[in-house]
A = this chain, B = another copy of it.
Amino acid sequence: MAGNREQTQNEPAASAAVVLLSGGLDSATAAAWAREQGFELYALSFDYGQRHRFEIEAAQRIAQWLGVREHRVLRIDLSPLLHSALTGTEQVPRGRSLDAMSQGIPVTYVPARNTIMLSVALGWAEVLGAANLVIGVNAVDYSGYPDCRPEYVAAFEKLANLATKAGVEETLRFRVHTPLIRWTKGEIIRYGTERGVPYQWTHSCYDPDSSGRPCGQCDACLLRIKGFEEAGLKDPLCYPKA
């Protein structure tokens, strides 16, 4: 078990954290990790004109399960600015091999997505007096997203402390926690399952049907399915027969 490799020892156990909650498996697990650290949780989700709005409902259920102090959903329609597979109408790749997925940056990349979400989280954190930001990014398992890498996260953390009144006046020392960054999907699922994360409510598919059922063929579904296999656990979601 990868455990809490990214945890720091000197963090005040009861301090507050803004957790980015997408409704997906990774962010739900990262939030469960944050709760286990003793952080008081403030969940933040974005309704950014994405194709799969089921994610927002999933985030709401998960926030409730977590017992967060507050859950805010910020509407920000980036689709006219940031056209990509997640917000646009292009075809999401289906049935790709893991080899194909590992080539370069995925088509589902949304320009500056994590930077925008972390920036808003930072603003809210400063208002709350919360020193901790938690994001479920992952740099392994064919992710390939530039804004999921440790060097990116370190640069954002540095920026956060230069950008804010609380950082400059040193009333808060902002930290960006990325508990999952070096875990495999199997390790993430095992960690979350041991803590009872309700994976039946999490939403991973890039291309669900009109009722929100996963396609089982996009990169996100294939990685999820492989992750449950790797963890030796049963995925509570149902997929269409091939």
Contacts and interface: CB of A to CB of B under 8 A. Distances in A.
A2 interface: no
Q: How many copies does the complex hold?
A: 2
Given A72-B81, A122-B112, A126-B112, A151 B162 contact: yes
A119 B123 contact: no
Nearest to A122: B112
Contacts of A165: 105, 109, 111, 146
Nearest to A123: B112
A116 interface: yes
Interface string A156-187: 10111011110111000000000000000000
A242 interface: no
A83 interface: yes
A127 B163 contact: no
A164 B109 CA distance: 9
A105 B164 CA distance: 10
Interface in A67-87: 72, 74-78, 80-83
Contact of A78 (B109, B120, B146, B147): B120
Interface of A: 72, 74-78, 80-83, 105, 109-116, 119-120, 122-124, 126-127, 146-147, 149, 151-152, 155-156, 158-160, 162-165, 167-169
